[in-house]
């Protein structure tokens, strides 16, 4: 009786409010409304760190007629796992952000359709890890130990340069690392040590690191912004670890986001502790707009996008004709001999290594 009436009124009211909210809420259902033939949007699914400048995305629309819609799907591992879960009925057309540490899991689960992008010849063959072209390399970056220049200058101590250095008594209680299970730089660093000391040797190295007072936290955010004494956030939080696992591109970023910008970066990179990460994009199996998706992959390796990328995501372009911004050439470092590892070797060992590492370091 009156409950029903109340219900009816309430539903009408709710519909009213949600429609209002929809008006303000952005382009929620627009692409549906434009009809079925040849969708005008192409959806890029990525991790939370994806960024591109507005004008570059506008350029893509000018060139192809497609508008890019970006769906951020969590951190890198989570985003890949979501794509595996929704295999065959993907959330979008292109996935960007699977790196060499997770590549085999993505490929073995068959979430990508092969597509040979236009302009592949401008990418070094060493980076093209999938011969079937299910994925295309987009960027690369190095995971390295960063150091607090002020700390080491004050102590008149040379910053560590290699994995071996980190285990020396001079650097006792100085290093903070990330849990490799929860954080991709943490995993990169573990893989770097495994590449350096071999399948049988890395455990001994970590025993030494543990005896040398290495500290572990769960995320890069905590390590870099809370524990590390060299970053702006860490200074404010009064972090007391002058060594942290971060990226080779962190020093330029540190300069970029300071006000006023310092003449030299407050942090440096221990170039002998680096592990190279390459990120890939691929056309999703079951994409609703495969044509748009192919155009988007071509665009991701175009000069326009590759030039824009360093200051958006703080990674290095993969194409040979891209130019690095001044910030990178001035404050960044070139890593000559980073550690690397084949994706299938990572896939075969990752879970077991992480488990061994947990028992060794955390328990």
Partner 1 sequence: MVLPVAFFAVFFAWPVASIVERGLRPDGHWELGRFAQTLSSPEILDVLWFTLWQALASTALTLLVALPGAYVFARFDFPGKGLLRAVVTVPFVLPTVMVGTAFLALLGRRGLLDELWGVRLDTSVWAILIAHVFFNYAVVVRTVGGLWSQLDPRQEEAARVLGASRWRAWRTVTLPALGPSVAAAALMVFLFTASSFGIVQILGGPAYSTLETEIYRQTADRLQLSTAAVLTLVQFVAVGAILAVHARTVRRRETALKLVPPERTAARPRGAGQWLLLGAVLLSIGLLILAPLGVLVERSLATSTGYGLDHYRALQSVDENGTFLVPMTDTIVNSLQYALAATAIAVVIGGLAAAALTRRAGRLVRGFDALLMLPLGVSAVTVGFGFLITLDEPPLDLRASWILVPLAQALVGVPFVVRTMLPVLRAVDERLREAAAVLGASPWRAWHEVDLPLVRRALLIAAGFAFAVSLGEFGATVFIARPDNPTLPVAVARLLGRPGELNYGQAMALSTILMVVCAVSLLLLERLRNDRTSGEF
Nearest distance in Å: CB 70, partner 1: 5
Nearer to partner 1, 49 or 150 (CB): 49
Angle between helices 303-313 and 54-64 in degrees, nearest 10: 160
Taking the complex as a whole, how short is the minimal distance between the CB of residue 269 and partner 1, in angstroms? 13
E strand or H helix that includes residue 72: strand 67-72
HEC letters along 160-178? CCEHHHHCCHHHCCCEEEE
d(CA 79, CA 218): 18
CB of 260 to partner 1, least distance (A): 8
Smaller CB distance to partner 1: residue 117 or 255? 255
User: What gap in Å lies between CA 311 and CA 2, rounded to an integer?
Assistant: 61
Nearer to partner 1 (CB atom), residue 163 or residue 357? 357
Q: By CB neighbour count within 10 A (0-12 exposed, 13-18 middle, 19+ buried), where does 244 fall?
A: buried
Q: Residue 19 or residue 323: which is nearer to partner 1 going by CB?
A: 19
Q: What are phi and psi of 176, to 5 degrees?
A: -120, 135
Q: What angle do CA 174, 178, 183 make, to 5 degrees?
A: 160
CA–CA dist 21, 194 (Å, integer): 52
Assigned token pair, 282: 């691929």
Rounded to an integer, what distance in angstroms lies between the CA atom of residue 286 and that of residue 315? 29
d(CA 207, CA 13): 64
**For residues 95 and 123, which CB has a smaller minimum distance to partner 1 in the complex?**
95
Q: How far is the CB of 92 from partner 1 (least distance, A)?
A: 7
Phi, psi of 319 (to 5 degrees): -80, 150
State in angstroms the smallest separation of the CB of 228 from partner 1. Answer: 9
Asked whether the beta carbons of 252 and 328 are under 8 A apart, the reply is: yes
The residue among 34 and 53 lying less far from partner 1, judged by its C-beta, is 53
Residue position matching structure tokens 């590549």 = 103
CB of 27 to partner 1, least distance (A): 8
Cβ 47 to partner 1 shortest distance, Å: 10
Nearer to partner 1, 2 or 121 (CB): 2
Cβ proximity to partner 1: between 52 and 166 the closer is 52
Whose CA is closest to 145, among 347, 333, 327? 333
Min. distance of Cβ 197 from partner 1 in angstroms? 22
């Amino acid at each position: 009786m009156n409950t029903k009436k109340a219900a009816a009124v309430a539903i009408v009211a709710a519909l009213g409010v949600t429609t209002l909210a929809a008006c303000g809420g952005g382009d929620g259902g627009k692409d549906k409304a434009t009809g079925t033939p040849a969708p005008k949007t192409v959806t890029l699914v990525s991790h939370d760190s994806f960024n591109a400048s507005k004008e570059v995305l506008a350029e893509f629309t000018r060139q192809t007629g497609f508008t890019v819609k970006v769906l951020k799907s969590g951190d890198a591992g989570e985003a890949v796992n979501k794509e595996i879960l929704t295999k065959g009925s993907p959330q979008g057309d292109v996935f960007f952000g699977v790196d060499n540490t997770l590549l085999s899991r993505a490929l073995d689960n068959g979430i990508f359709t092969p597509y040979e992008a236009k302009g592949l010849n401008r990418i070094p063959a060493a980076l093209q890890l999938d011969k079937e072209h299910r994925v295309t390399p987009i960027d690369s970056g190095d995971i390295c130990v960063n150091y607090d220049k002020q700390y080491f200058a004050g102590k008149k101590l040379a910053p560590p340069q290699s994995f071996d250095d980190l285990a020396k008594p001079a650097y006792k209680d100085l290093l903070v690392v990330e849990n490799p299970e929860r954080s991709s730089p943490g995993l990169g660093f573990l893989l770097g040590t495994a590449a350096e000391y071999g399948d049988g040797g890395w455990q001994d190295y970590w025993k030494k690191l543990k005896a040398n007072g290495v500290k572990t936290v769960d995320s890069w955010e905590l390590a870099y912004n809370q524990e590390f004494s060299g970053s702006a956030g860490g200074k404010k939080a009064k972090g007391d670890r002058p060594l942290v696992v971060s990226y080779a591109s962190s020093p330029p970023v540190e300069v970029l986001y300071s006000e006023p910008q310092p003449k030299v970066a407050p942090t440096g990179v221990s170039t002998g502790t680096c592990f190279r990460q390459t990120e890939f994009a691929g056309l999703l199996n079951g994409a609703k707009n495969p044509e748009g998706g192919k155009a988007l992959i071509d665009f991701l390796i175009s000069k326009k996008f590759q030039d824009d990328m360093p200051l958006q995501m703080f990674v290095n372009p993969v194409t040979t004709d891209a130019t690095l911004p001044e910030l990178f050439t001035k404050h960044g470092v070139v890593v000559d001999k980073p550690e690397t590892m084949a994706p299938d070797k990572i896939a075969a060992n990752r879970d077991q290594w992480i488990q061994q590492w947990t028992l060794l370091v955390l328990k």
